[in-house]
Structures are given as structure tokens and as C-alpha cells.
Amino acid sequence: MIIKPIIQGVVARSAHPLGCQQSVLNQIEYVKNAPQVADGPKKVLVLGASSGFGLASRISVAFGGSQADTIGVSFERGPSDKGVGTAGWYNNVFFREEAEKQGLIAKNFVGDAFSQDMRDHVVAYIQNEFGGSVDLVVYSLATGVRPNPETGELWRSSIKTVGEPVSGPTINIELDTLESMDVETASEDELEATVKVMGGEDWESWITMLSNAGVMAKGCKTVAYSYVGPEVTYPIYHHGTLGRAKAHLHGTADLLNDRLKALDGEAYVSVCKALVTKASVFIPAFSPYILSLFKVMKENGTHEGCIEQMQRLFADRLYGNTAHVPVDDARLIRVDDWELDPETQQAVKALMAKMTAENFHQIGDYEGYKLDFLQLNGFGYNNVNYNARVNMDKMLLLQP
């Protein structure tokens, strides 16, 4: 069949397998040629491994100097009579293929990372087939729902403000328009549920469970990802429900860091740059900032995508020759440093002030934003022939 992009609002309803393969290959190529990760991890578990920062982390530790064996957990759908499957499914397949070509283990678990069943499978695999322990756990899940482990009831996150409502322009990728939207104030219940879904509780429970099972190696590290951003975005992010959840995540890093001392281990949160991912396009009123940021950072030559961010994180911050992992006053790793550079932010603010529904294509980097979105789903690569038929019978045989 011929596969075309189908976009509804900010959700992609189709994915191109060969474009996803190209995306994985490009990221591998990038990390092979970038400054390498020295003294890196060798046995890595990535929770949320199929896209965005998690996939980039996995590619970085496997191909960026450390040659790590990896286990990836993700929630994805393969091809069936209902559709071609999700981009993350193909990312898993093609990552594994490339890793195996290099003689690396790349085990994929596709299913619900919140379930006990998944935890049991992962632990059994580490114990029986992965050498008995992991020396790095990357926590990169992004989701809108998490079941309460005790009752099974679902907590649902809300991307809302805390305090005052705000309104602001937001991109509609389907229609290529900039529309005004109101972001409501969260209720106490919504705020609490968002912290449950996107805060640190599940990260803590994974690390506790792995430690109790004796599969965290001596000297192990764990890292989760966060966003802070500049003041212009505070009402919708840092001071909103997501920011509250991230504050909880930051606190969890300190708690886990204390607990892991018994193993000479360490826990960190890395604050990353704003990027287009399957998760971030849902953040209302955030896109004008990203459009302006991309424009300025590309002009300055400081723009990075997920893979550049993760390679810099592992090569320059978490591993390498430094005696200590460099952190800020709040013990956070800051790979958002180039984003928050004062001159960059001044230029971004000036662009945002000028941006309207008529001129956002010229003022901001809408072309880059849309291309990133298409490429997340395997579209928009020059060297993929999108007019050629994809043999779905062959795709159906691929296993993650």
C-alpha cells in the first residue's frame, strides 16, 4: 500500500515504516560522529524507549561510544487490519535490527510499563538473560493516564494552569493555522492527578522494585527528563499542572539519590530543551514559543533535536571524565542551557511579540516544526520514496 500522512489536530494517524527506519538510521549516524560517551553504561533499561528522548537515549548509549546492551519498554501498536501501526513500533523494530548487527542485545518489551506483569517480565529477563543487573535506568515515559496501582482506577493528567486561566495562540498542525485558545485553571483533583501521572511516583516505584529484586548494579545511575523553560512559558508550563508534576519528579530524584547511595548509585533529573515530540505537541499555547525558539537557535547554530540533546547529556554530563556530574543549585542537570541563553531568549521574546495568525510562517520556524512532526511519524525524509508501495505483508512479519 501507499502510505500518506494522516493528521488529526496534533495527532498523526498513520506512520511510514521506511521513514521510521530512516529516522533511526539518521540518529545512529549522528551519534557515531559526535563526541563519544566515555566510561558509559553497558547494561541499560529505557522506560519509554520507542520515541522522543527515550529512543534518542537508547541510540546514544548503544551507538554513541558506550556500546550498551539495552532493554526498551514502550506502549506501541503493530500493523494489523486496523492500520499500519505506530511509528514507535517500527522504531523498536529497526533499532533492534541495527543494534543486533553490531552484536548488541536490544530487547523490546511492548506493553504497559505501569503494570505489575511488565515489571515481572523485565526483572526476570534481567536476571535470566541480561547478565543479572542494569547500570543505567532511563525513565522517559510520557503519557496522559496512569492506573492507580492499588485500585486500578485511572488518573488522567490535565495540561492546565494553576491559579489564573490564560489564553494564547496555538498551532493546528492539521490545518496549518495559528488559533487562539483558552487554557483553563485546573481543579485540585486535576492537579493531583497530573502529579500522579507525570510526577516521580512511578519512577520511584520502578527503581524501588528493581533495587529490591537486586538487579541494580553497584554504581548504577538513573535519570528522568524534565522541562523548565523561560518565564514567558511559566503560566502554561512551569507554574501550571505540568510544572507541579515536574517539581515532584525533581524531589523524587533527591529521594532516589539518597536511597541509591547504598549501591554507590546516583539519581538525576536532566532538564531538556523544548522540542517537537508526540507528547509536546499537546501542550496548548506553547507552539509560538517553539516556533520562535527554533528560528533563533537555528540562526545561531545552537539548535538541537532529541538525539543531539541526549548525546550531549551522556557524553558531557552523566558520563565521561568529570569526577562529578555537573548540576545546578537544585541538583538538576541542565542541557537546556543553550535554550535559556539570555541573548537567545531576548531574540525569542522579540519574535513572539510580532507573531500573528497571518505571519507565523515567516516570523517563526513553522516549516521546521511541521517537518519535525512529520518525521516523528516517518514522513518528510528526502531519501524515502513515498510514492512507492510498502509491502505490508512483509511489515506484518517484523517483530519488535
Q: How far is the CB of 224 from ligand NAI (least distance, A)?
A: 6
Q: Does 143 bind ligand NAI (CB under 6 A)?
A: yes
Q: How far is the CB of 391 from ligand NAI (least distance, A)?
A: 25
Q: Does 141 bind ligand NAI (CB under 6 A)?
A: yes
Instruction: Choose, by CB under 6 A, the member of 15, 31, 43, 53 that binds ligand NAI.
Output: 53
Q: Does 225 bind ligand NAI (CB under 6 A)?
A: yes
Question: Could you give the CA distance from residue 41 to residue 37 in angstroms, rounded to a whole number?
Answer: 9
Q: Which stretch binds ligand NAI (CB under 6 A): 97-105, 141-149, 325-333, 358-366?
A: 141-149
Question: Could you give the CA distance from residue 377 to residue 363 in angstroms, rounded to a whole number?
Answer: 26
Catalytic residue among 237, 268, 369, 381: 237
Q: Which three cell numbers stand for residue 328?
A: 545546578
The contact mask relative to ligand NAI for 273-312 (x = CB under 6 A, - = no) is -xx-xxxx--------------------------------
Question: Could you give the CA distance from residue 258 to residue 236 in angstroms, rounded to a whole number?
Answer: 31
Q: Does 168 bind ligand NAI (CB under 6 A)?
A: no
Kindly tell me which of 39 and 97 has the beta carbon lying closer to ligand NAI: 97
Kind and range of the H or E run holding 219:
strand 216-226
Is-contact 75 111, C-beta < 8 A? Answer: yes
Q: Does 268 bind ligand NAI (CB under 6 A)?
A: no
Is-contact 32 61, C-beta < 8 A? Answer: no
Q: Does 155 bind ligand NAI (CB under 6 A)?
A: no
Question: Could you give the CA distance from residue 106 to residue 108 in angstroms, rounded to a whole number?
Answer: 7
CA-closest candidate to residue 187, choices 232, 229, 134, 241: 241
Question: Could you give the CA distance from residue 172 to residue 43 in angstroms, rounded to a whole number?
Answer: 41
Q: Does 112 bind ligand NAI (CB under 6 A)?
A: yes
63-102 positions binding ligand NAI, by CB under 6 A = 73-76, 88
Is-contact 139 250, C-beta < 8 A? Answer: no
Q: Which three cell numbers stand for residue 296?
A: 533563533
Q: Does 338 bind ligand NAI (CB under 6 A)?
A: no
Q: How far is the CB of 184 from ligand NAI (least distance, A)?
A: 21
Kindly tell me which of 330 and 388 has the beta carbon lying closer to ligand NAI: 330
**9 is an annotated ligand-binding site residue:** no
**234 is an annotated ligand-binding site residue:** no
Question: Is 237 designated active site?
Answer: yes
Kindly tell me which of 142 and 285 has the beta carbon lying closer to ligand NAI: 142
Residue found by looking up cell 482506577 in the block: 153
**275 is an annotated ligand-binding site residue:** yes
Question: Could you give the CA distance from residue 397 to residue 47 in angstroms, rounded to a whole number?
Answer: 25
Q: Which three cell numbers stand for residue 70?
A: 539495552
- Sign for the CA dihedral angle at 112, 138, 242, 180 comes to negative
Question: Could you give the CA distance from residue 306 to residue 270 in angstroms, rounded to a whole number?
Answer: 13
Kindly tell me which of 41 and 400 has the beta carbon lying closer to ligand NAI: 400
CA-closest candidate to residue 139, choices 253, 260, 224: 224
Question: Could you give the CA distance from residue 113 to residue 48 in angstroms, rounded to a whole number?
Answer: 8
Kindly tell me which of 69 and 336 has the beta carbon lying closer to ligand NAI: 336
What residues make contact with ligand NAI under the rule CB under 6 A? 48-54, 73-76, 88, 112-114, 140-143, 225-227, 272, 274-275, 277-280
Active-site positions read: 237
Q: Which residues are annotated as a binding site for substrate?
A: 227
Q: Which residues are annotated as a binding site for NAD(+)?
A: 48-53, 75-76, 112-113, 141-142, 246, 275-277
